[in-house]
Amino acid sequence: MIWNKERETMPRKALRELQLEGLKWTVNRVWDHVPYYRAKMEAIGLKPKHIVSLDDLSKLPFMTKQDFRDNYPFNNFAVPKEQLIRIHASSGTTGKPTVVGYTRHDLDMWTELMARIVTQAGVTSDDIAQNCFTYGLFTGSFGLHYGMERIGAAIVPVSGGNTDKQLMLMEDFGTTALIATPFYALYLAERAAELGIDITKRLKLRVGLFGSEPWTEEMRTQIEQTLHLTATDNYGMSELIGPGVSGECECFCGMHIAEDHFLPETIDTETGEVLNVGEQGELVFTSLDKEALPVIRYRTKDISVLDDTPCACGRTHTRMRKISGRTDDMLIIRGINVFPSQIESALLGISGVGPYYQINIYRKNYLDELEVLVEFTDETLLDNFKKLDELTQTARERLYNVLGINVKLRLVEPHTLERTTQGKSKKVFDKRNDPQ
Ligand code: ADP
Ligand code: ZN
């Protein structure tokens, strides 16, 4: 089923006209209300009147996550505070999170987009949808929540964690649709097996909506086989709106981008050159009708390929291939963004450890485990087990405070970690795709 036939199957020509109108509106809005971006335009002698066709998009300067940080918390908003009705923030990459705001129009648009996503995934008003995304500043949970409500599905806002209870409710309520990160979905299956729950007999799951972190096709197969449901992918990020930017249809040949609200491009990360459709590059999006937080050429750092060939489902919107990685080194651990530099600065602030460290990421029980090895500096600690233990505890707490997740911290003897003598040092060893 198609939620908004008029928009989702719009002929490309009409869609392009709508996009141009939205682009001009957005550029004018930003010029008038977002000083930092106006300054970027002025610096290259660009004015809103120079944007007359969609081809002019490439003249506009990029926005990056740094722009959000520099304008923390509200300076990139294009509306006065009284027009905001919701504020979210992303999990926080450095010290300060990325803050995003919504007007009533923005929230309504987001909800409509989510209604599309869940509908194209196959959810209907008959479904009972259990939301395992953590409710809070994170956009994911609220996006799916309101989208489900809009189509008339019954949303169960269980939030994250509490796996045994999740399973109990899933059985008792007869949950049919599951919202989770892909790795949590696998863990649910494993825990069910441990508890002796025969999923085919006792659960009624039939469709899963997974996203917020990268996951492979192999993972999809595994989820489908263990949870006995159809696993669908959907994508988004808080800077743009949250989830709702793109999602899979019943053809499973990429995620349709809500092109009537977001203009996609792929660029060469190094040069910033716009790539042809079909070429792999960094995704860049421009919002077309967002009021509170218009974004122009926002560089996502996510790597994908655009595909505008016709889709058998009838939707005309361009599709994007599953995200294959990120241009930077950001690690997503159980859906939380972690930068190696955060770990480094946290460790280096503790006297008695470092500066040599190593980050290992592996998967245990289908969940990501972050292990940090760091050298302690005082050799005499080798004979003082209590002190060593205290130091480990201090470092672990500090990492938890900075990252918001538990880290498996191991203090290792001085001079045991590898030193790099040439070129860049490799500190991150991501072993999540190694066989378990
Ligand atoms: P958070 O909501 O985790 O604080 P952000 O909005 O900062 O999130 O996270 C958005 C990022 O999450 C995207 O840029 C992308 O890297 C990743 N992401 C979201 N959904 C998917 C998906 N379906 N596949 C791959 N990566 C995804
Ligand atoms: Zn389709």
Is the shortest distance between the CB of 244 and ligand 1 below 6 Å?
A: no
**Atom number of ligand 1 nearest to Cα 322:** 24
In this prediction, residue 273 carries a pLDDT of 98
In this prediction, residue 153 carries a pLDDT of 98
Distances (CA, A) of 435 to 34, 211, 364, 366, 431: 49, 22, 11, 11, 9
Residue 320: name the closest of 278, 290, 287, 289 by CA: 278
In this prediction, residue 334 carries a pLDDT of 84
Is the shortest distance between the CB of 183 and ligand 1 below 6 Å?
A: no
Give the number of whichever ligand sits closest to the CA of residue 215: 1
Please identify which residue in the block is written with the tokens 């790539």. Answer: 275
Tokens read off for 410: 């191991």
Please give the distance, rounded to the nearest whole angstrom, from the Cα atom of residue 313 to the centre of ligand 2. 4
**Atom number of ligand 1 nearest to Cα 89:** 4
Is the shortest distance between the CB of 212 and ligand 1 below 6 Å?
A: yes
Please give the distance, rounded to the nearest whole angstrom, from the Cα atom of residue 254 to the centre of ligand 2. 8
In this prediction, residue 424 carries a pLDDT of 35
Is the shortest distance between the CB of 300 and ligand 1 below 6 Å?
A: yes
> Which are the contacts of 382, defined by CB distance < 8 A and separation ≥ 6?
388, 413
Pocket mutation for ligand 1, best pick of 302, 324, 334, 338 (most atoms within 8 Å of C-beta): 302
| Residues paired with residue 259 on neighbouring β-strands, in sequence order | none
Residue 259: name the closest of 22, 2, 65, 1 by CA: 22
Please give the distance, rounded to the nearest whole angstrom, from the Cα atom of residue 90 to the centre of ligand 2. 29
Is the shortest distance between the CB of 282 and ligand 1 below 6 Å?
A: no
Is the shortest distance between the CB of 181 and ligand 1 below 6 Å?
A: no
Tell me the C-alpha distance between 32 and 328, whole Å. Answer: 32
In this prediction, residue 192 carries a pLDDT of 94
**Atom number of ligand 1 nearest to Cα 139:** 2
> Which are the contacts of 184, defined by CB distance < 8 A and separation ≥ 6?
132, 160, 334, 335, 367
In this prediction, residue 372 carries a pLDDT of 95
In this prediction, residue 421 carries a pLDDT of 41
Instruction: Encode pLDDT of 1-30 as tens digits.
Output: 999 999 999 999 999 999 999 999 999 999
Name the stretches of the chain with pLDDT < 50: 93, 421-424
Q: What is the DSSP string of 333-395?
A: ETTEEE-HHHHHHHHHTSTTEEEEEEEEEEEETTEEEEEEEEEES-GGGGG-HHHHHHHHHHH
Instruction: Encode pLDDT of 333-353 as tens digits.
Output: 888 878 777 787 788 778 888
Give the number of whichever ligand sits closest to the CA of residue 404: 1
Angle of helix 104-120 relative to helix 139-151, nearest 10 degrees, comes to 70
Residue nearest to atom 10 of ligand 1 (CA): 237
Is the shortest distance between the CB of 326 and ligand 1 below 6 Å?
A: yes
Distances (CA, A) of 44 to 63, 81, 320, 345: 15, 30, 31, 36
Tell me the C-alpha distance between 390 and 13, whole Å. Answer: 66
Residue nearest to atom 20 of ligand 1 (CA): 212
Please give the distance, rounded to the nearest whole angstrom, from the Cα atom of residue 276 to the centre of ligand 2. 21
In this prediction, residue 93 carries a pLDDT of 47
DSSP H or E segment with residue 409: strand 408-412
Q: List phi, psi (to 5°) of 362.
A: -140, 180
